[in-house]
């Protein structure tokens, strides 16, 4: 798990995934994070897709973060589903991908796992809009409150840079009826 500071995003070597971006001087703030989970998820998604597309335009993670922050409204470090979809629609990097939206809760867990693993192992990156419980064991309220990024490496699944076992992956995705996964795949022309 990698936690970095806001100023570290200016370094050309900063790559996703990382778990959190903290303010350079968090003292005196109730929340030491530089921004909320939705901005962080779009930043990680952008960095992972840029790496897969082999985009090298000199932009740092800091440049991307500033662009996302200025384009996407967050209230109390949260973003609405509609705002997220609007941002995806307006962003050329995301529009250059083929996308598949899945609601895992409406699927048989084995079928969901087969589809998700096949796509993750092919190198697809996933934006997950989720409900995370307030407390362990709490019942779902069916309110989206968290954005994460899933990706696969060497047969393993990672959520925001943290390695998950398959049971945890299924439980996270099936926790709430509203949980939605958007798989981003390179277009055929770009894969060749």
Q: Where are the domains of the chain?
A: 3-191
| Helix (H/G/I), strand (E/B), else coil: 66 | helix
Domain 3-191, what architecture?
A: Alpha-Beta Complex (3.90)
Q: From first to last of its 192 residues, what are the pLDDT tens digits of the chain?
A: 577 788 888 887 767 666 678 788 876 666 677 788 888 899 989 988 988 888 888 888 889 988 888 887 777 656 678 888 888 999 989 988 999 999 998 888 889 989 998 999 888 899 999 988 888 888 988 888 889 999 988 888 888 888 889 888 888 898 888 899 999 998 755 444
Q: At what angle do helices 81-90 and 37-53 cross, to 10 degrees?
A: 30
Query: Within 10 A of 69 (CB to CB), how many other CB atoms are there?
Result: 16
User: For residue 35, what pLDDT is reported?
Assistant: 80
Calpha distance 158→131 (Å, rounded)? 18
Calpha distance 78→33 (Å, rounded)? 13
Q: Cα-flanking dihedrals φ and ψ of residue 8, to 5°? A: -70, -20
């Amino acid at each position: 798990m990698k936690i970095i500071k806001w100023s570290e995003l200016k370094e050309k070597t900063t790559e996703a995934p990382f778990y959190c971006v903290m303010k350079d001087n968090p003292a005196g703030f109730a929340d030491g994070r530089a921004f909320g989970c939705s901005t962080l998820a779009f930043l990680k998604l952008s960095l992972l897709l840029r790496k897969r597309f082999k985009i090298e335009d000199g932009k740092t993670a800091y440049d991307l973060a500033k662009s996302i922050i200025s384009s996407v409204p967050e209230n109390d470090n949260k973003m609405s589903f509609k705002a997220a979809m609007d941002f995806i629609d307006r962003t050329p990097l995301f529009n250059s991908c083929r996308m598949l939206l899945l609601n895992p809760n409406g699927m048989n867990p084995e079928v969901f796992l087969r589809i998700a693993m096949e796509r993750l192992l092919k190198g697809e990156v996933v934006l997950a809009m989720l409900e995370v419980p307030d407390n362990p064991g709490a019942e779902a309220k069916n309110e989206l409150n968290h954005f994460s990024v899933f990706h696969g490496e060497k047969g393993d699944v990672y959520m925001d840079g943290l390695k998950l076992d398959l049971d945890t992956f299924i439980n996270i995705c099936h926790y709430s009826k509203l949980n939605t996964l958007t798989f981003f795949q390179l277009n055929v022309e770009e894969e060749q």
